[in-house]
Structure 1
Amino acid sequence: MRVLTVLAALCASALAATSDFIDSTTVYIQQIDAISPPAPLADIKYNPSTLSAELVSFDAPEIEPESKLLRVGIYDVATSSWKSSTSITSVETFAKGYSPTLVLSLDAQGGVIGVSCKSGKIDAGQTRDFGPKIKVRKTVKGKLPELNKPVVLSPEGKVATPEPEKTLLQKYWWVGLAAVMLLMTAGGGSE
């Protein structure tokens, strides 16, 4: 009985581990200078809700020596067109001593809207985690601008000029009047 329970728990954890990544995509790369079709660069599995990703396969691009720039994105082979926005990167991104990082940009529904590629120099003492990396970013609603008060226009369409500020006497004349009345009505001492 216990063996069956342990076996069921192992199978459930194995299924949970394989179903963690629910979407997949293939990133393509194309040389800008040469007239060559886009070639697959990486197969990626990702989960849009947790923003986790796994690199299934990565094929280092074969680049012609005269090429300087590369286009990276999601390419549809059936229609021969780019499905996502593309980004341009230098050939040196994939040079020896650099570790490329592919950044998937997702929309609110989890679809890929763009791919970009950047790289970082590998430290000479670094012995692990120097291969290609994946980052997944989801678009979020941006911050609204903080606006000042609206400009008030007069009926003629001109900017209304503010009224000049009142003087101290114009503001507090009633306090002076109350003080004078108090002095006049106060009874004097009889001698």
Structure 2
Amino acid sequence: MLLSRLILLPFAVASSVTLYVSSVPVSSDASIVPSPIPLAQIEYDVDQSVGTLASYTPPTGSYSSNHLLRVGLSDSKLGSWRGIVTSAASFSEQYHKKFVIHIDEKGEPFHVGFGTSDKGSGQEVDIEIVRKTAGPKPVLNKPIVLNAEGRLESKEPEKSFLQKYWWVLALFLVVQLVSGGGDGK
């Protein structure tokens, strides 16, 4: 087992992919950031859940909470953008940043997530790789079987003695009341 991992190690490293995340302002004001700028270069191995940060350049300027930035992927083939919108204040020095790269079955990125938390000890930026997984499947009961008439095919519950022969007991009581039993005199 260890030998097979050592043999496959060069292929695992060769399958790492580099991802570029860009920061683009939401507003149409061209004076803030004129074009998308590279924010981070992230390398990850398709088989691992943690990536490495090759380069990180935080956006410069004011970190005001009302200035919004788009963080995501630009797909040059489709001409589309995928990602999230966050406040520029998220890139302030007081926050710990975390990039979440969502990859599909082939290892291609299809979405980028970004989050911040209070800065503590450790790295300034964390990278997490999340594989696309199937959602939960519903638990189904046994199918309902109908007979030819369209009714449920079920056994009727066993009846007790009283439920079966109540009419005999009622007839016996009626006969006793009607006959009167005789006076005996």
Q: TM-score, normalising length from structure 2?
A: 0.64
Corresponding position of 2:139: 146
Corresponding position of 1:107: 104
2-structure distance, mates of 1:66, 1:76 = 28
Deviation at 1:147, TM superposition (A): 2.4
Deviation at 1:172, TM superposition (A): 10
2-structure distance, mates of 1:156, 1:67 = 68
1-structure distance, mates of 2:67, 2:21 = 19
Corresponding position of 1:58: 56
Corresponding position of 2:42: 44
> 2:86 is matched with which residue: 85, 89, 108?
89
Identity fraction in percent:
25
Q: TM-score, normalising length from structure 1?
A: 0.62
1:51–1:170 CA distance, 2 compared to 1 (3 A): farther
Residues 33, 67 of structure 1: 8 Å contact kept: no
2-structure distance, mates of 1:156, 1:37 = 71
Q: CA RMSD in A?
A: 3.7
2-structure distance, mates of 1:170, 1:110 = 71
Corresponding position of 1:168: 160
2-structure distance, mates of 1:122, 1:66 = 18
List runs of 5+ in structure 2 lacking aligned partners: 1-8, 166-185
Deviation at 1:103, TM superposition (A): 0.5
Secondary structure of the equivalent of 1:52?
coil
Residues 66, 87 of structure 2: 8 Å contact kept: no
2-structure distance, mates of 1:37, 1:156 = 71
Secondary structure of the equivalent of 1:93?
helix
Deviation at 1:149, TM superposition (A): 4.4
2-structure distance, mates of 1:112, 1:54 = 15
List runs of 5+ in structure 1 lacking aligned partners: 1-14, 174-191
